[in-house]
Structure 1
Amino acid sequence: MKKNAKERAELTTNINASKIENEKIRATIKKDFPHVKNPSKNDIVRYKLYQELSYNAFKNLYTDEKIDYEKLYSKTYDIDHIIPQSKVFDDSFSNKVLVPRQSNLDKGNKTAYDFMSNKSAENLEKYLSIVETLFKEKKITKAKYQKLLKQESEIGDGFIDRDLRDSQYIAKKARNLLYEICRVVTPTTGSVTARLREDWDLVNIMQELNFDKFKALGLTEMVEKKDGSFKERIVDWSKRNDHRHHAMDALTVAFTKHNHIQYLNFLNARKNETHKEHNVIIGIEDKETTWKKDDDGNKKRVFKLPIPNFRQVAKEHLENILVSHKAKNKVVTKNKNKTKSKNGERTKVELTPRGQLHKETVYGKYQYYINKDEKISAKFNEEIISKVAHPIYKNLLLQRLSENENDPKKAFAGKNVLTKNPIHLNDEKTETLPEIVKLTWLEEDYSIRKDITPDNFKDVKTIEKILDEGVKRILLRRLNEFDNDPKKAFSDLEKNPIWLNEEKRISIKRVTISGVKNAEFLHYKKDHFGNEILDDNGQKISVDFVSTGNNHHVAIYRDEKGNLQERVVSLFDAVQLVNSGEPVIDKTYNQGLGWQFLFTMKQNEYFVFSNEKTGFNPKEIDLLDAENKKKISPNLFRVQKISSKDYMFNNHLETVAISGEILKTKKELSGVMYHYIQTPARLKDIIKVRLNHLGDIVKIGEY
């Protein structure tokens, strides 16, 4: 809430980049330091702090001695807090440096600046010079620079208040709104929540909740801890993979006391008897904290548990959470636009679509020939025979079909199969019509113009879509010249152009590629007077085609034979239906043929699946009973995306959208993380449910 949209987007980009960087560092540590078999977060921080000193020839800031890379992961060096944690609640990277262990011990509870100022004037001057240089060369952040120069006398209190002053409008507004319904509103921050999660042993709960299902799929691994023991964990796990981590944070915040925040807010007052808050903080420390030994046997102060068995109780509540999303049901929004005129105020009701009607790109329409060899069989009806390229073969096949009441089974199967009853090409019956004939027909497609960029043409497959064969060969050759690296091949085309004709200085910057098979037209072709132009048959000519792309729903029906059938309705079509006063969901579609409407699938709607492996059958339990949430949870899936015979369902707990990469590399997660269905027949046993905003199932079936 404290960050605006641009900052959140940048944060997401930075997080993704950081993940990639951390994986590279983890690989480097494993390679260079074999004894560090499972690099932890702190190990990665240690490596980054070492690299931070590269501009200073890897000399540490306190003694100006070079860090021995070979001993980086030994007891020779420590990660020191620039401003001690006993003074300020700050465990960020900007408050850390890599120094010799003895220097860390000598520094004690002093700030880095105070520690260096107690040395000789020469040492302090050199320290300040190095810090200034590192900052000017952008090797350290402004935050670290300021902390390296901060004296204890300059350490302020109340980081909560500072955070609130720096907050965005929405955070301040939320606080003011809460004051309208609550007598006391105590602000907190993510750092406080993180500390309480750790002290209350909630950190690994999310992994534990997911552990069994991943272990059953063979997606866990044994990792060696620093003490030589082993522990089992989920491969590539992050708590952010599960939506319930928000609930865990909310639970932590719910049990956060004013005392917790005040204690962390005034850590500097603990050992400063002259501080105005000293007695209060000591009182809170005695009441709210206790001593606990960490994995290394070191004692540290932690906050007491808010209730007995807090971890187990929290875990049980988290297991019973169903995560709800707002379904995308609405097609249009009614807006009343008021305008003033001489005759008074006019009100006009307009309908605004609730989403993107079509992709921005306008497609061009073209036709191309398809050639295919096909064996003559019982499926050779009049439509298929019309595609036979050889005119004599076509006429003879049509004649055989006509002689058999236009029934292809009678004409080309059974006793009339060509091997038993051939079709002769001459009166002498020396030549017969071959069993395999060539079919030729015109297909319609829609083209699109695209810039040549690494993203648009990342591999051979995407280049193959280029319609111009000559241009296609040039781009394939270019990609090959750069070892199939699209970033090298198709970047900076101004400096390194792709020549269509170098002599005439004609370069290729944009190309026409095949687009989509189905599209909607926006306009009819007109002349410069605005009159519609007709084709040779007197029909209007459609122009400006677009791919509708954004589907509103897929309706599922049971036909007269009991088979499930689909009908896809795009948002483009849905808006047209609303404008014409027709229902968006056609429950009477093909009713005359015996079809029965069953349900629709819209984005973010929920369905309960059966599970053969666990024996779960949604028809055998009461889905409305909150006591069954734990059983329902693994089998509750949300519609992620829909198109014709292509339905993607994501488990309601999953935060990661299912991509093509996941489908290829994590097939074992099918039925656990996702359901990918490509035929309506596989939808017969699923049950549609509706969740309210609290995660309770309130309706079963279509609504």
Structure 2
Amino acid sequence: MTDEIKKREKEQKDAKKFLEENKIDPTPTNILKYRLWKECNEECPYTGKKISFESLFGDAPQFDIEHIIPFSRSLDNSFTNKTLCCVEENAKKGNKTPYEAYYGTDKWQEILSRVGKFNSDFKNQKLKLFQKVLDESDDFANSQLRDTAYAATEASKYLAHLYGGIVDSSGKRRIEAVKGQVTSHIRRVLGLNTILGENPESRKEIDEKEAEKSREDHRHHAIDAIAIALTTPSMVKKLSEAAKSAGHLHPKARCRYFKRFAPVEPPCENFVEKVHNIIENIKTSYRVSRKVRGPLHEETYYFPRDKKGHKKEVGECVHIRKRLDELTSENIENIVDKTVRECVEAKLKELGKTSPKEAFKQESNLPRHKNGKIIRKVRIRKNLSVFPVGEGSRKRYVANASNHHMEIVETTKGGKKEWEGYVVTTYEAMQRLKNKEPIIKRDFGEGKKFVFSLACGEIIELDEVDEKRQKILDENGNPKRGLYRIRTVPQSKQIRFVPINDARKITQIPKQGMTAKPETLRERNCQKVIITPLGEVRKAND
């Protein structure tokens, strides 16, 4: 599965690169066109006409994306059910399947032959769809409600074992493995995808990108649950009927998606507003692991040095080797060898560039030492704290790879309370565990009071502030409180946190986002809390 995902991601990147090089906006639709274009070997599977770049991406395209089994009859909007088709031929095909439109004609075998030569992993699946015979008497709703994928089937069996069977004694089906595409359609047509947006708009005002499901907020799982609960045979039948009558009802729709469906009556009045109010009050609960896990140190060995570069048992920095095209502009002044540094600076000046990465990516641009040798790598000075591991001849110096937690301690200076933070590395936490000491230290001596510890994933509650760091007040004039999740605990003690519902990866969150040192947390009346699986906020007894 992972290999397949990586392959699809590469296809997407290749398509985007091609489109950008040819001055075409790499929208999801254009990327899809490109993938289908390459899949069908740049020829229309129905007519055999060659599909040129201009005829597909030009101002007056002669070819477009089409559903092999009409969308109104399948509700299948997957890549597997799509190909390219000449615009005129697509109009002739209408709402028919390829089998219904071409079987028994001279074109039939030619079409199958072209599909059989498709250049993709989906070739066999698409060939089956081209030959598929739809039985009008089939129970369409039930076919859409059954997900026959292996994982879904096994999950259904497990739930049936726990709760008395898939079908109850009265013959009613109690466990449904619902197809993801159907719930996706329901989320969209009922406006559920607008709920987590910053400015939810009416269904008519949503464009193609805004109608997409957001995965940047953990509450999207709750919206999925609502969509699944609404996925009944009657709802799927409504979707099917809406798809069949969509064309003439939405000729000027801004969003391509909503051209596929006529309006679907919501389950109740003010449905989206009611769901929005419920979702707004959801608090995401996390299971925080307090185990000491993760790398204890980096794999690279270093040797501590003083500012002059001399090796010391305890030093302020280390020397590391880097290729010239890996350096940043700030690294130049930290090149250890003065002669090498001058050669690099002179070459940058000669090339008229400030970025080593840009200047030295070509071999011909590399500087030469005064002895005539090409300089490819340099040693740079880096401020890095290292510690010894091993003893005797096996003694090595390594850098910390991760931090386990921070211990917040309150002190009193001149009658004023202040918070200090002590960062505990994963290595140090493991040493405490090994020595049968408490992983979290609570005794810091006289005049220092332990407040709480903070680790990645834990929750804090604190006063909200605006862009000017001024506290935000509620309607009663009290400081407004917010719940946040700790994401990183760095050696700088500048703790990084995000709202509890934020589901983005740490690499997707701007570095200039929400950060605070211990004293700032005190000023904002920070309190460590836990959120139960039922959403109850309780004070953490740390």
Q: Is the 8 A contact 1:650 1:657 kept in 2?
A: no
Answering whether residue 295 of structure 2 is matched by residue 444 of structure 1, we say no
Question: In the alignment, which residue of structure 1 is the partner of 2:215?
Answer: 240
CA distance in 2, matches of 1:50, 1:16: 13
Corresponding residue SS for 1:559: strand
Secondary structure of 1:552's partner? strand
**Corresponding residue SS for 1:581:** coil
Structure 1 residues 64 and 617, CA gap change in structure 2 (3 angstroms): same
Report the Cα offset of residue 366 of structure 1. Answer: 2.6
Q: 2:179 aligns with which of 166, 189, 192?
A: 189
SS in 1 for 2:188: helix
Say whether residues 1:556 and 2:408 are aligned partners. yes
Q: CA offset at residue 317 of structure 1?
A: 1.1
User: Partners of 1:15 and 1:651 in 2: how far apart?
Assistant: 34
Question: Does the 8 A contact of 2:318 with 2:381 survive in 1?
Answer: yes
Q: Where in structure 2 are the equivalents of 1:365-514 lying within 5 Å?
A: 365-369=304-308, 444-448=316-320, 452=323, 457=326, 459-462=328-331, 467-468=336-337, 486=357, 512-514=379-381
Q: Residue 177 of structure 1: CA displacement?
A: 2.8
Partner of residue 431, structure 1 = none
Give the drift of 1:684: 2.8
Q: 1:250 to 1:70 in 2, by over 3 A?
A: closer
Secondary structure at the aligned position of 1:241 is classed as coil
1:198 matched to 2:188? The reply is yes
Q: Secondary structure at 2:299's aligned position in 1?
A: coil
Kindly state the Cα deviation for residue 83 of structure 1 after the two structures are TM-superposed: 2.1
Map of 1:93 onto structure 2: 79
Query: What is the deviation of 1:638?
Result: 1.0
Q: State the 1:556 CA deviation.
A: 1.6
8 Å Cα contact 1:687-1:701 kept in structure 2: no
Matched, 1:150 2:131: yes
Aligned to 1:642: 489
CA distance 1:316–1:469, shift in 2 (3 Å) = same
Any conservation in 1 of the 2:297–2:401 contact (CA below 8 Å)? yes
* Structure 1 residue 519: Cα displacement: 1.8
For 1:124 and 1:356, locate their aligned partners in 2 and report how far apart those are by CA, in whole Å. Answer: 61
Residue equivalent to 1:79: 65
Checking the alignment, whether the CA contact within 8 Å between 1:110 and 1:152 is kept in structure 2 is no
**Amino acid in the other structure paired with 1:323:** T
Partner of 1:280: none
Pick closer, same or farther for the CA change 1:685–1:236 going to 2, 3 Å. Answer: farther
Aligned residues with identical type, % of pairs: 21
The whole-number CA distance in structure 1 between the counterparts of 2:260 and 2:130 is: 30
Q: Cα distance, 1:640 vs. partner?
A: 0.7
Whether 1:522 aligns to 2:461 is no
Normalising by structure 2, we get a TM-score of 0.74
**What CA distance in whole angstroms lies between the structure 1 residues aligned with 2:345 and 2:135?**
63
Alignment of 1:233-312 (within 5 A): 239-257=214-232, 293-294=249-250, 296=252, 300=261, 304-312=265-273
Does the aligned pair in 1 maintain the 2:63–2:84 contact within 8 Å? yes
Q: SS of the counterpart of 2:389? A: strand
Counterpart in the other structure of 1:607: 460
Unpaired runs of 5+ in structure 1? 30-38, 213-219, 265-283, 332-353, 371-441, 531-542, 624-630, 668-673
Distance 1:482-1:568 versus aligned 2 partners, 3 A rule:
same
User: Paired residue for 1:586, among 416, 422, 441?
Assistant: 441
The equivalent of 2:6 in structure 1 is 10
Which stretches in structure 2 are left out of the alignment for 5+ residues? Answer: 166-173, 254-258
Shift of 1:187: 0.6
Alignment match, 2:533: 694
Q: 1:319 aligns with which of 280, 286, 306?
A: 280
**1:97, distance to aligned residue in structure 2 (A):** 3.4
Q: Is the 8 A contact 1:362 1:448 kept in 2?
A: no
- RMSD between aligned alpha carbons? 5.1
Q: Contact 1:552/1:570 (CA < 8 Å) preserved in 2?
A: yes
Instruction: Return the index of the structure with the highest Cα Rg.
Output: 1
2:146 and 2:177 in contact (8 A); partners too: no
Partner Cα separation in structure 2 for residue 294 and residue 259 of structure 1 = 23
Q: Say whether 1:110 aligns with 2:110.
A: no
Q: Equivalents in 1 of 2:111, 2:251: separation in Å?
A: 35
State TM-score, norm by structure 1. 0.59
**Aligned position for 2:170:** none
8 Å CA contact retained: 1:587, 1:597: yes
Contact 2:55 2:61 in 1 (8 A): no
1:600 touches 1:702 (CA, 8 Å); kept in 2? no
Q: CA separation in 2, counterparts of 1:15 and 1:328?
A: 37
